[in-house]
Structures are given as structure tokens and as C-alpha cells.
Amino acid sequence: MNVLLLGSGGREHAIAWKIAQSPLLSKLFVAPGNPGTAAFATNLNCSLADFAAIGTLTLTHQIDLIIVGPEVPLVEGLADYFYSEENLKHVRFLGPDKHAAQLEGSKDFAKQFMHRHGVPTARYATFTSETIEEGLTYLETLEAPYVLKADGLAAGKGVLILDTLGEAQESLKTLLGGQFGASSARVVIEEFLTGIELSVFALTDGKDYVLLPEAKDYKRIGEGDTGLNTGGMGAVSPVPFADDAFMTKVIDRIVKPTMTGIHAEGMRYTGFVFFGLINVKGEPFVIEYNCRMGDPETEVVMPRVASDILPLLNAAASGKLAGMHLEKDARAACTVMLVAGGYPEDYRKGDVITGINEVNGSMVFHAGTALVEGNIVTNGGRVMAITSYGNDIHDALRVSYENAQKIEWKDKYYRRDLGKDL
């Protein structure tokens, strides 16, 4: 089977690494990929906004299965493009269509879906510039802190948490005034939930599903969960508090009703459902859905999948997941994200990275790197994810931290406190 994976981050490196182990694989292509994927797959230079170019690559390389890593092409309708083009219809496509991808692409759509299907989530209301006065009044009925969300995609920056009513009301005006363009033309205001977050993932064909190992990521830049939000500074799996009793609640109250809802509404949904959950005193609530895998969660989830992943991905894209199982690796896994100094604000690119070959006992997943004149250089805020196995997450973290010291570039930064909260 020839496979084309779209994306260029640590998530895609980890998915590619797992697919590459499959005896079912003939050729693996990654578009655009990164220097990490180039070591064992063929990178194809392509913009993910150029659907026609993706279609051409698919035909040129006789792709049987296409897997989409990031959300943007899905929310913009890449699946619909493949389903509608006569010469691409035969290709198995893993990723929801534009309508279904609104579970991530529109917070209001996701909230309405959760309400229709009885999925527990924070109380909310949605406002536009026409209803701004109602929005300002609605905020007065809530307690601090206040959660405001741009309805559409905003590169992870669209959620604002404000401590005072005054700030929340100002932020509502700024958002509806076009802070994130069309993405914030609608704003979801919701009740603040206090608890600890985790990420749960399902692979679905639109009807049946298999659960992947769960993970916890660390979103804030600073130790002790302080400072700005990032794309994710590391992850661990399994999550100690996600015991059988808690996961039974997650499955019965959240995963099953969501999957039943997707099927009952006739959504064309193949691929990953990412449940961003929060544990409020032992009760799970949905913070958000994403229509893709998490990053850096994938860098611990894929290593913990013991089964061959390719038959599962292929079955999900073919509507044939019924009766299939996913075996988990009993070991724990962790990943420590090495980032460029200054991230998530301004940071430099192009610093030469050394020491990758000295890493021992960990896997290095490239997130934001480039190959320039024979050197691997930094090319993004999140640069590399150092993943290790262990008997438990603390054991795994020790190994990643040892290896994190060996990789060097100017102003490298990473959090040294992962797992300490667990």
C-alpha cells in the first residue's frame, strides 16, 4: 500500500515512524514532511492549501491511502475535494469532510452538537456583533474567571481566560470587533471549569471506533503551568488519574454519545476524534473536540500503540473498522519538547542543532527543523520532541531529560517539571 501523510510537525513524524513499521506498507510519502521524516520516507514539497497539487501528487505516486495530520486542510474541505474529483474518488481518505470538521472548526457548532447528544460540557452562550449587548450582560451572570472563545480556527490563540468582568467585557468587544477576522465574528462565552486536563483519542470510520492510549499534555511555557499558552511543551501517557473508573465514565458519557451522534447525523467522518477533556472532581467534561491527533500527544500515543497501525488507518478510511482492535504497549511513554528561546512569542530560526546523534535510549521527533547546507537547524518555535519509554512516566521522563541535555542550540529551552503534578 502506498501512503501519503500530510503535515510537517512532530505529530506527523511520529505517525510516519509508526506507519513505516508496517509490513503492509509499500511506499510512504510525507508532504511536506521534515528532515526527520526524510530519514525513512519520501518528502514531497507541497503547500497543504493547494488541493489540486495534493491531488496531482496522489495520482503521480499512485497513493492508496491519504492521511491528514493538521486540521486546517480538513476544515477547508480537502476531503470534499477528494470525494468530488472523479479521478481521486478511488483514494481512501482519512479525515473528516468540511461539515464534520466543524467539530473543531466552529466552537459553536461543537457546543450545539454536544447539547444535541447530551455530552457533558461547560454551560455556554454564543454572541455576534448584533447581540454584543446581550453578551456583555451574559458575562455579568457568570463568575470569574471568564472564558471567551473565537468561534473559528485561530492558530491556538482564540481562547481567552480573563480574571475580571471588565477585562472580559473589553475582550468580547475586541473579539467581535475583528481581532481574529472571520474566526471571531462569533464568540462563545462559557463557564470556567476547574480541574485537570487530559486528551483522549478515537480512530473512527464514522460508525465504529477504536480508542488510542490517552495522554496529558503540558500547554504553558513556564514551569508549574505558568506563563503563555503554547502548542504543547511535552506529554505523558498513560495518565495516572485516568483509571478504569474514570475512563468508563469517559467512554459511556462522552466517547459513545459523540460517535453515535456523528453516525446519526450522517457525518462523513473518517479519522481521529480528539477529545480535549477536563476532570472536574472525578467527572469528565469536554473542553473541545479536535478533528485530528494532538501534538505533542501523538509523540507518546504512537509509541504506545502496539498493534500495526496501518491496517487500522486503512480500515477507518474504508468504513471497515467494525470488529478491529488496538493493542496498547504496556510501557509508559513521555515526550519533552525542546523549543526555541522566546517561544511562544518572537523567536529566532536557523540556529544549528548539534548532538542529535548522541541521544541514547530516546526517539527524536522533529517538529520545527530544516536541513540547510548539511546542517539541521531550528525552523519553528517547537523544534524537537524527545520521546522515551519507561516502567512509569517518571522513569520515562528521566531518560528524556538525560537526552534533552545532549541536544544543543543557542537559547534552547524546555520545561524541567513535566510529570511533577501527577
Cα 46 to chain centroid distance, Å, stands at: 21
Name the residue among 336, 300, 319, 309 with its Cα closest to residue 417: 336
Which range of residues in 256-264, 291-299, 335-343, 401-409 is near ligand GLY by CB under 6 A? 291-299
Partner that binds at residue 217, options ligand GLY, ligand AMP, none, CB closer than 5 to 8 Å by kind: ligand GLY
Q: Which is nearer to ligand AMP, 104 or 208 (CB)?
A: 104
Check binding of 368 to ligand GLY (CB under 6 A): no
Q: Cis before residue 311, ω within 30 degrees of 0?
A: no
Q: Which is nearer to ligand GLY, 108 or 295 (CB)?
A: 295
Per CB under 6 A, residues contacting ligand AMP are 122, 147, 159, 190, 192-193, 197, 219, 276, 287-288
d(CA 69, CA 64): 17
* Selected binder of ligand GLY within 69, 96, 232, 271 (CB under 6 A): 232
CB-count burial class (<10 Å; 0-12, 13-18, 19+) for 275: buried
d(CA 17, CA 36): 9
Contacts with ligand GLY by CB under 6 A: the residue count is 6
Q: Which is nearer to ligand GLY, 239 or 315 (CB)?
A: 239
Q: Which 3 state secondary structure label does DSSP give 198?
A: strand
Check binding of 33 to ligand GLY (CB under 6 A): no
Partner that binds at residue 297, options ligand AMP, ligand GLY, none, CB closer than 5 to 8 Å by kind: ligand GLY
* Selected binder of ligand GLY within 290, 314, 335, 362 (CB under 6 A): 290
Angle at CA 189, nearest 5°, toward 172 and 292?
110
Q: Which is nearer to ligand AMP, 156 or 177 (CB)?
A: 156
Q: Which is nearer to ligand AMP, 103 or 193 (CB)?
A: 193
Task: Please report how close the Cβ of residue 232 comes to ligand GLY at its closest, in angstroms.
Answer: 4
Check binding of 104 to ligand GLY (CB under 6 A): no
Task: Please report how close the Cβ of residue 157 comes to ligand GLY at its closest, in angstroms.
Answer: 12
CA–CA distances in Å: residue 367 to residues 13, 43, 140, 271: 8, 15, 42, 22
Alpha helices, DSSP H, located in 177-303: 244-249, 256-264, 298-301
* Selected binder of ligand GLY within 104, 151, 297, 351 (CB under 6 A): 297
Task: Please report how close the Cβ of residue 199 comes to ligand GLY at its closest, in angstroms.
Answer: 7
Partner that binds at residue 151, options ligand AMP, ligand GLY, none, CB closer than 5 to 8 Å by kind: none
Q: Which is nearer to ligand AMP, 411 or 421 (CB)?
A: 421
In this structure, are residues 203 and 159 in contact, taking their beta carbons and an 8 Å threshold?
Answer: no
Q: Which is nearer to ligand AMP, 44 or 154 (CB)?
A: 154
Partner that binds at residue 197, options ligand AMP, ligand GLY, none, CB closer than 5 to 8 Å by kind: ligand AMP
Strands 209-211 and 216-217: unpaired
Task: Please report how close the Cβ of residue 158 comes to ligand AMP at its closest, in angstroms.
Answer: 7
Task: Please report how close the Cβ of residue 72 comes to ligand GLY at its closest, in angstroms.
Answer: 13
In this structure, are residues 414 and 338 in contact, taking their beta carbons and an 8 Å threshold?
Answer: yes
Check binding of 295 to ligand GLY (CB under 6 A): yes
Check binding of 37 to ligand GLY (CB under 6 A): no
Strands 382-390 and 363-366: antiparallel
Q: Which is nearer to ligand GLY, 233 or 316 (CB)?
A: 233
Check binding of 299 to ligand GLY (CB under 6 A): no
Q: Which is nearer to ligand GLY, 151 or 297 (CB)?
A: 297
C-alpha torsion 271→274→299→421, nearest 10: -170
Task: Please report how close the Cβ of residue 151 comes to ligand AMP at its closest, in angstroms.
Answer: 11
Alpha helices, DSSP H, located in 154-281: 165-176, 244-249, 256-264
In this structure, are residues 332 and 370 in contact, taking their beta carbons and an 8 Å threshold?
Answer: no
Task: Please report how close the Cβ of residue 87 comes to ligand GLY at its closest, in angstroms.
Answer: 33
Spatial neighbors of 293 by CB under 8 A, at least 6 apart, are: 11, 15, 69, 201, 272, 274, 301
Residues 212-231 that bind ligand GLY (CB under 6 A): 217
Backbone angles phi, psi at 84, to 5 degrees: -95, -20
Q: Which is nearer to ligand AMP, 167 or 329 (CB)?
A: 167
State in Å, rounded, how far the first CA of the chain is from the last one: 41
Burial 100-128 (b: 16+ CB within 10 A, else e): bbbbbbbbbbbbebbeebebbbbebbbbe
Which parts of this chain interact with ligand GLY (CB under 6 A)?
Answer: 217, 232, 290, 294-295, 297
